[in-house]
Structure 1
């Protein structure tokens, strides 16, 4: 059986080993960079969805838009890192922000749906990936 040997440059091998040592530092930074891009798109879509009914005066108080945010990167029980874009649950009137967002997204009897989450997800996918690639490249360059 034939054998082949490949010698990699020493500096490349050193960078790979340092990259492996810093994985738990790099992954959260990369995910949070992507989360910020998605949050910006969701926020823009939410603002346009709230004021999109020209027949009625908007009853928006800004509470839902103020509750939108990105969680910090956390590791789950399987060892995967996750970042969530969503709404904080505390609301002064006692209703859940997730419920209000669901009604806005899907509608209810007498209220037409005004989707803002699903379009934001699909339209920000490529920008999110590019932002995460750029953040990863910055982290690799700093090694």
Structure 2
């Protein structure tokens, strides 16, 4: 039976070993880079649908757009890291930003839906992955 031996370059092996030690530092940076891309797309979609196609003049205060943000990367009980793109609470008028976003996204009686989240998710997927890959490669280079 044939036997093959292969040796990895020393600098590559050192980077791999250091990467293992710094994963908890690198993962949040990579996820937040992707979250920023998605947030930008959601924000542009949201600004495009607010006040469009209404019979009356828009009563938008800008609170929903300003409440949009990305959470910091957090580890859940299963050990997975997550970031969330969403709306901070509460609003100054006592209503929920999540409720208003839901009404915009899905509509209500007498108000047609104006989807902005679902199109942003599908449109920003590739750009998000590319941003996370670039952030990961930058972090690996710094090791």
Structure 1 residue 129, shift from structure 2 partner: 0.4
Matched, 1:49 2:56: no
Report the TM-score when normalising by structure 2.
Answer: 0.97
Aligned structure 1 segments of 4 or more residues deviating by more than 4 angstroms? none
Matched, 1:61 2:53: no
Q: How does 1:8-87 map to 2 (within 5 A)?
A: 8-87=8-87
SS of residue paired to 1:25: helix
Structure 1 residue 56, shift from structure 2 partner: 2.0
The aligned counterpart of 1:99 is: 99
- What are the ranges of 5 or more consecutive residues in structure 1 without an aligned counterpart? none
What is the distance in 1 between the residues matched to 2:82 and 2:54?
A: 38
What is the distance in 1 between the residues matched to 2:138 and 2:95?
A: 42
Structure 1 residue 53, shift from structure 2 partner: 1.6
Structure 1 residue 22, shift from structure 2 partner: 0.5
Matched, 1:108 2:108: yes
SS of residue paired to 2:69: strand
Task: Please tell me the root mean square deviation across aligned C-alpha atoms, in Å.
Answer: 1.0
- What are the ranges of 5 or more consecutive residues in structure 2 without an aligned counterpart? none
Structure 1 residue 4, shift from structure 2 partner: 2.6
Report the TM-score when normalising by structure 1.
Answer: 0.97
What is the distance in 2 between the residues matched to 1:55 and 1:100?
A: 18
